[in-house]
Structure 1
Amino acid sequence: MQSTELNYPITAPSSSSAMKPQVLAIGEFDGVHRGHQEVIKRARERADSLHISASIMTFHPHPREVLGQCKYTNLLTPVMAKMQLLEQLGVDDTYLVSFNPAFMQVTPEEFVENMLIPMQVNTVIVGFDFTFGYRGAGTPDDLCELAQGRFAVEVIRPFHQNGYKVSSTMVRHHLNSGEIEQANALLGRPYSIIGKVVTGDGRGRTIGFPTANIDLSAAFVIPELGVYAIQCHVNGQAYNGVMNVGKKPTFVENLEKPTLEAHLFDFSESIYGSEVSVDFISYIRPERKFSGVAELVAQISRDVEQAKQLFTSFVVLD
């Protein structure tokens, strides 16, 4: 997959790589959940039928972050994670548009004339709730009208699961509630974070449960505090384990930020400095304060056994 950064407006020849007939799906696609996947799937199908490229236009930073909505400083899929997922879905080209205060002022008409037309789009695919232009004034109907026959527009209906519309907001809600299985069902895959293994306080090793302390590589949404069954991908291999997402109340008071500590089963390698990705498989229990080390160790032992039982009944793909 080729990735190209774009700024408004598009002008030749600096952006000539973007000048080719293509099917273009447009959206923020945070989470790349099952609803997003339907939009991208349709773009791929349309492109294949026309024998042209299937492309994605997405934005960075998240438009709502630029608008000052604080919860969007943390994302389900920061840029590098989103790009990986888009490539896995068979996208040929991705255009990352700089969403800045100047771009916020662009009208729907200007967006079409100065972004889409220079890109020679054959077809634009958007979701039913797509908005564009200043203050989100443009709707899919407006996009159809502004196309003026120069490109086709397809609007994808909402994707429902168990009677509910799949959305990034709903995924966030489940993660913030510790409902990891429900979030994973909406995503169509385990929720995942990426980070580097860093030195911790070393306490886990002294109590018989060494942990990999993970420093996030980007501002991911962190699930509800608690203990999770996980699968950790490191150096091309996948290892089952448990992770505590929390503030270590047994040992620390008023820790400002939660830590991510993963204990991997049957694993003894030194992986300090390695980048790892962690898939959240199941929520085991909330974090709580223990009376001492002995009570904590006993509970971790139960957590490990519960997670191992989960992995015997669930198929987790590498």
Structure 2
Amino acid sequence: MHMDIRRIQYPFTELHSVPPDGQVIAIGDFDGVHLGHREVISRAIERARSLGVPAAIMTFDPHPREVLGKAQYSRILTPIDEKMRLFAELGVDQVYIVHFTPELARVSPEDYYKNMLYPLKPRVIVVGFDFTFGHRGQGTAETLAKLAKAGESIEVIAPHNMDGEKISSTLIREQLHLGRLERVKSLLGRHYRIQGKVVKGEGRGRKIGYPTANLEPLDRYVIPRQGVYAVRVYLDGETLKGVMNIGIKPTFHEDEEQPPTLEVHILDRNEDLYGRTLEIEFAAYLRPEMKFSSVEMLIEQIAKDAQRAKQILA
């Protein structure tokens, strides 16, 4: 099934392109497309199928938090392209990506509804329990219900709890910062992944017999806790096994201030990947980054890490 993606801005004026019988729209930022988000989206798809109309998602780019200057949250779990891939896998028919701007942030809930939602002919609008919209997030699901015209209904999906905690992008970020990958996987419904391009590193890995690809993330991903990970590496349709180190390489550097580097050693392969794009899937956290008193001890530890990674990824 082909999913149509349209970038739109406020106010929405391309009325000729709206499905004549309307559509069901799920609205949200959906960063992470985690299990809580999936409930909102599946409910929208279910309602759309029963009404015989397309299932649509309205989401935002850039992330509203980035535009509103909340820098500590500007790191994301799923960049827009990955989000689209996940939406398509779920069976969504249409995505409207709203260009989020400081001007849009100032629009009142009433105007947002009138000029952005109503023109899309929503038959049903599905949102999460904590949904807000319009200036300073003054609009809520209740506001939507008041504004809804005849023939439209609003559905609010209750929080999705796991082990007594509500699933949220914030919780997933915290778990990544703690290196708790099992928990992250259970909240996301899949392993966490990031994409990056291989850039020139210091070339030290090759000298000690463990060549590594130095990865520069393609987006402002949430970077997991510093340490060593067992990872799967996706390269041009191939799935390879690897060990990734996220950190500052304390054996070689005194400077604590530098940003962490991401280096991946692909097991049983030795080729130059410079300039290639890799997708890294975090399978398990092996250990924190350590400072070794000699390079020999570091090499010995890397061999142990590689062995453990092989067992985990087998």
Residue identity in the other structure for 2:195: I
The Cα of 1:3 is off from its aligned counterpart by 1.2
Q: Say if 1:19 and 1:118, in contact at 8 Å, map to a contact too.
A: no
The Cα of 1:155 is off from its aligned counterpart by 0.8
Q: Which residue of 1 aligns with 2:302?
A: 300
The Cα of 1:199 is off from its aligned counterpart by 2.1
**Alpha-carbon distance between aligned partners in 1 of 2:200 and 2:14, rounded to the nearest angstrom:** 49
1:133-212 maps to which residues of 2 (within 5 A)? 133-212=134-213
SS in 2 for 1:118: helix
The Cα of 1:277 is off from its aligned counterpart by 0.8
The Cα of 1:6 is off from its aligned counterpart by 1.0
**Alpha-carbon distance between aligned partners in 1 of 2:175 and 2:201, rounded to the nearest angstrom:** 29
Q: Which residue of 2 aligns with 1:227?
A: 228
Q: Which residue of 1 aligns with 2:267?
A: 265
Residue identity in the other structure for 1:121: P
Q: Say if 1:132 and 1:139, in contact at 8 Å, map to a contact too.
A: yes
1:210-258 per-position Cα deviation (integer Å, ceiling 9, x unaligned): 1111111110010110001111100001111110011111112325211
Q: Say if 2:132 and 2:141, in contact at 8 Å, map to a contact too.
A: yes
Q: Say if 2:283 and 2:313, in contact at 8 Å, map to a contact too.
A: no
**Alpha-carbon distance between aligned partners in 2 of 1:259 and 1:309, rounded to the nearest angstrom:** 25
Residue identity in the other structure for 1:166: I
Residue 51 of structure 2 corresponds to residue 50 of structure 1: yes
Which runs of 5 or more residues in structure 1 are unaligned?
A: 313-318
Residue identity in the other structure for 1:236: G
**Alpha-carbon distance between aligned partners in 2 of 1:18 and 1:222, rounded to the nearest angstrom:** 39
**Alpha-carbon distance between aligned partners in 2 of 1:145 and 1:101, rounded to the nearest angstrom:** 26
Which runs of 5 or more residues in structure 2 are unaligned?
A: none
Residue 19 of structure 2 corresponds to residue 9 of structure 1: no
**Alpha-carbon distance between aligned partners in 2 of 1:125 and 1:164, rounded to the nearest angstrom:** 22
TM superposition score normalised by structure 2: 0.95
SS in 1 for 2:183: helix
Determine what percentage of the aligned residue pairs are the same residue: 50
Q: Say if 1:62 and 1:99, in contact at 8 Å, map to a contact too.
A: yes
Residue identity in the other structure for 1:268: N
Residue identity in the other structure for 2:37: H
C-alpha RMSD of the superposition: 1.4
262-271 or 166-175, which moves further after superposition?
262-271
Residue identity in the other structure for 1:214: L
**Alpha-carbon distance between aligned partners in 2 of 1:240 and 1:12, rounded to the nearest angstrom:** 48
The Cα of 1:166 is off from its aligned counterpart by 0.6
Q: How many residues align structurally?
A: 310
Residue 119 of structure 2 corresponds to residue 118 of structure 1: yes
SS in 2 for 1:144: helix
Q: Say if 1:195 and 1:275, in contact at 8 Å, map to a contact too.
A: yes
Q: Which residue of 2 aligns with 1:315?
A: none
Q: Say if 2:232 and 2:313, in contact at 8 Å, map to a contact too.
A: no
The Cα of 1:143 is off from its aligned counterpart by 0.7
1:27-64 per-position Cα deviation (integer Å, ceiling 9, x unaligned): 01011110001111111111111221111111112112
